Chain A
């Protein structure tokens, strides 16, 4: 139990620390690297909570795909981050004030915490880990009870794809493309022409 506590606090501290560094570091590449660190430690927290499937998904999807994509974007687009930060001090007082108001409100919420007694039973629809693995349980929910949402999520992804193509795809004219079929279909007769050149007369045609 003690070890679990220690591990939890170590992971949690690193998550919070690296999340802070994501915002604070001056170099955007460092920000992305700290983001990856935060994801890894969040995955550790998931493992501690017994959600191994979520942990692995977090590592594969967020670290493997999303963060690497961020890294590419940051390195390929020449964004002037110093200029982006210029208005920071200007907006700080207003932002801090709004943040403080929200924080106070949220603390009020936590202070007046009344949790309905049913929550205990309603919020734990999953059997314990020993009886059913995470993957199994998630699949059972996703493909049966939430089948409708799963399908609609698919439609949303379709819209995202259509949108990306509609807004960015352009048919370029004047681009030379490799056509493998045309290359393979070329015969010797199309490509080679044999000329009999009379010596001393020179070649006049086809050059």
Chain B
């Protein structure tokens, strides 16, 4: 007989699951008018979950018969995901009200997607990896198509669904190969089998390749990025803001755990693959974004590039590399969410939300603070010191050089230089072009998010030490 498992390491997940169900009931009973209340309650639930994860960040436990793991690494990634989801929810309220999309299912689906991401981060088994991924992906498909009367939104939902289902299938096929050739689905078990056998079977390698392809699709790394620009452009803007952060953090955390945990012993076999993914993502992210006129597509290519930098830390397969990736993601959270806050504030006085780079023209004169914040985010995304984005890149480049991946680091630096062009073009349009009609005052919550993230991005250089120390402790959890 198996005893009842210890559920205390999964308290935050339980809270989110129960909160989602209760809020769904509230939404169903109170109708569409309750959207605002449900949204703020969801933010509160995410905040409480963050606090729970924070308060026992240093526990390290494996529970649910080895399916679930809680350690410092998981806590760090979970806090990023929870903050990202909460910020995206806060940013979405004004949009939902103005676009008449007020339905209480929206925040509930975001909470359920967040739950899926936390399950992914805490996965210690191929099975929990898959169910977490599916819970997250299914919620995201629905969110992408949430504006169901808009052709673009339904198209983006459908594209995301079809390609995502294919990626899930590939991942699942890889998992079966790994299970078939090692006899275990648990990460610990796989690592044990791979460690005891000198001779590597082709089957495991094929399984590894399929699993990495599936995960690379989920993080939108080149060459599995095709869906990103279309989905980002078509989905409702706050959903895109949500897509660009939390799911990527979760999938990257999962990627790191899978590669460094069960397959850590055969790192030589996958470092090349990950390095190639990272290099291709950085280069394509830098080059393809140059010609974009739609700012949502521009941000999509930018996010592909940033995933490349984050993957560079994984390619280094060292505690330094994981630390670099974690710091990178934390900084990316702030600057990316802030930039999306500004994009969500691009609303003309007739109520339409515009999304072209040219629409930002002369914003420095019509909305100087918004323009200043956007300039901070753009400089930071480009990696200009002393803004936060520079530190993110610094730590991953440092790790790559430390691991001897000089070529990858050089490609990364070159891609950064090329990529600066389109970030700086946005700044140029805002500051030097003839003003377009101005934007309306953004809602208080949106302004607050923009202000906080801008301050964080601007002042990060004063206090990087506690972040890096925390990320360092988290990275050690993957290298026992």
Chain A residues at the B interface, C-beta cutoff of 8 Å: 105-106, 108-109, 111-116, 118-123, 144-149, 151-153, 155-156, 158-160, 162-163, 165-167
A106 to B180, alpha carbons, bound, how many Å? 14
A116 to B200, alpha carbons, bound, how many Å? 10
Give every chain B residue within 8 A of A158 (Cβ-Cβ): 21, 112
The reply to whether B141 and A116 contact each other, CB–CB distance below 8 Å, is no
A113 to B177, alpha carbons, bound, how many Å? 11
The reply to whether B189 and A109 contact each other, CB–CB distance below 8 Å, is no
The reply to whether B183 and A119 contact each other, CB–CB distance below 8 Å, is yes
Chain B stretch 308-327: residues in CB contact (< 8 A) with chain A: none
The reply to whether A152 and B128 contact each other, CB–CB distance below 8 Å, is yes
B102 interface contact, C-beta 8 A: no
Chain B stretch 369-417: residues in CB contact (< 8 A) with chain A: none
A171, chain B: closest CB distance, angstroms: 9
B183, chain A: closest CB distance, angstroms: 4
Chain B stretch 100-126: residues in CB contact (< 8 A) with chain A: 103, 105, 108-109, 112, 115-116, 119
The reply to whether B5 and A147 contact each other, CB–CB distance below 8 Å, is yes
The reply to whether B65 and A155 contact each other, CB–CB distance below 8 Å, is no
B39, chain A: closest CB distance, angstroms: 15
A145, chain B: closest CB distance, angstroms: 5
Pull 30 A–B residue pairs with CB atoms less than 8 Å apart, ordered by A. Answer: A105-B206, A106-B206, A112-B202, A112-B203, A113-B203, A114-B181, A114-B199, A115-B201, A116-B201, A119-B183, A122-B189, A144-B1, A144-B65, A145-B2, A146-B127, A148-B65, A148-B68, A149-B128, A152-B131, A152-B135, A156-B131, A159-B135, A160-B138, A162-B24, A162-B142, A163-B138, A163-B141, A163-B142, A166-B103, A166-B142
Given contacts A159-B135, A162-B105, 4 further A-B contacts (CB under 8 A): A112-B201, A114-B197, A121-B183, A149-B131
Give every chain B residue within 8 A of A144 (Cβ-Cβ): 1-2, 65
The reply to whether A108 and B197 contact each other, CB–CB distance below 8 Å, is no
The reply to whether B135 and A148 contact each other, CB–CB distance below 8 Å, is no
A111 to B21, alpha carbons, bound, how many Å? 50
Give every chain A residue within 8 A of B115 (Cβ-Cβ): 155
A109 to B177, alpha carbons, bound, how many Å? 10
B362 interface contact, C-beta 8 A: no
A115 to B2, alpha carbons, bound, how many Å? 30
A153 to B130, alpha carbons, bound, how many Å? 10
Chain B stretch 424-457: residues in CB contact (< 8 A) with chain A: none
Chain B stretch 162-205: residues in CB contact (< 8 A) with chain A: 177, 181-184, 189, 193, 197, 199-203
Given contacts A118-B183, A155-B17, whether A108 and B202 have CB atoms under 8 Å apart is yes
B145 interface contact, C-beta 8 A: yes
Give the residue of A112, A118, A146 whose beta carbon is less than 8 angstroms from that of B193.
Answer: A118
Given contacts A156-B135, A159-B109, A159-B135, whether A116 and B127 have CB atoms under 8 Å apart is no
A1 to B198, alpha carbons, bound, how many Å? 39
B338 interface contact, C-beta 8 A: no
B64 interface contact, C-beta 8 A: yes
The reply to whether A116 and B181 contact each other, CB–CB distance below 8 Å, is yes
B134 interface contact, C-beta 8 A: yes
A160 to B140, alpha carbons, bound, how many Å? 11
The reply to whether B183 and A156 contact each other, CB–CB distance below 8 Å, is no
A111 to B203, alpha carbons, bound, how many Å? 10
Give every chain A residue within 8 A of B21 (Cβ-Cβ): 158
The reply to whether B182 and A152 contact each other, CB–CB distance below 8 Å, is no
Chain B stretch 57-71: residues in CB contact (< 8 A) with chain A: 64-65, 67-68
